[in-house]
Each structure stands twice: as C-alpha cells, then as structure tokens.
Amino acid sequence: MLVPKVYVETSVPSLYCTSRTDPESVARKGWTQHWWDFKRQGCEVFTSELVVEELERGNYPSKRDTLSLIEGVPLLSVDAAVTEIVKTYLRHFLMPAAPTGDAFHLALASYHRCDFLLTWNCEHLANANKFQHIRRINSMLGLFVPSLVTPLELLGESP
C-alpha cells in the first residue's frame, strides 16, 4: 500500500494551536489536532520554508508552540521551476497576486507530486469552485493535481 504524501500549509499548524474560542475555530482545532496526533503517522508529511516564514511573522500567543509543531517536518524545496509555476498561476488568475503564498503552496504541492495539500484556506485552496480552474492550469503545465483538502476530510471517520 502506498503512503500518501501530504503538504501541510500554514493554516493547519495555526489552527492546531489556535486560542480562538468561536465554535468554528474550536471545531477546526479539534479536527486538526485529531488528524495531526493520530492520523498523520500514516502519511509522508511535508511543509516548506514558506510555511515557517509565515508562522514566524507577527506576534501571537501560540507562536512558539506553532513553530515547534512543525519542527522536524521535512521541507519541500522552492526552486526556479516552482517560481515559474507561481508566475503562471498569477498570469491565469488562479490565485491572488498579493500575497503570493497560496500560489506558492499550490505550486509546491503540485511540483513535488503531493497527493494532498492540507489546508483550512477554503477561499483560495480547498474550494470546489476553484478546482476545475486549478486542474486546467496544472494540466496545461503538465503538473500533478493534488487533492486540496482539510484535516477533517483526511480523518477517514466521523469526528
């Protein structure tokens, strides 16, 4: 059996350590923690220096815990090909031009042939309305198309 390759985007460790108390954040935190603590072991998990940089920005209460959560997770490389993919995404209005983080996350997961891009960004990434556009552009570029999912979708059971 093949082990799925999962690229973890910034919102996942952020939600794992969030101190927000609104019902949606509490639910997302629970699902994220359950996947990370109990289901992640069945996957090959990766992140990127971009995620580390995004988590290092700002001053927030769980910063140290959030950064330590991804410590030791292998980083996917950002090379010239990934940068070119991002430029193509922006030219085709696949992702917002500013900031370019979402485009980089998708480019990394696609270029490195990750089975899943794990995210809570349901506006620009895990959005069924955008998936056909993503598939069309990635196919045009000859790139793999990762499944764009939330931790809840990877639990494989009712939470």
Q: What is the pTM of this model?
A: 0.93
Q: Residue 20: what pLDDT? A: 93
For tokens 């999912």, the residue is 149
Domains and CATH numbers, the chain: 5-129+137-154 (3.40.50.1010)
113: helix, coil or strand? Answer: coil
Cβ contact 145:115 at 8 Å = no
77 residue type, one letter:
S
HSE (side-chain half, CA atoms, 13 Å) at 22? 3
Q: What is the pLDDT along the chain (159 residues), one digit of tens a residue?
A: 689 999 999 999 999 999 999 999 999 999 999 999 999 999 999 999 999 999 999 888 999 999 999 999 999 999 999 999 999 999 998 887 766 788 999 999 999 999 999 999 888 788 888 889 999 999 999 999 999 999 999 997 543
Q: What are phi and psi of 38, to 5 degrees?
A: -125, -25
pLDDT of residue 63: 93
* Residue 157: predicted pLDDT: 55
Q: What is the structure's pLDDT at 122?
A: 81
SS3 category, 38 = helix
Q: Answer whether 112's CB lies under 8 Å from 7's CB.
A: yes
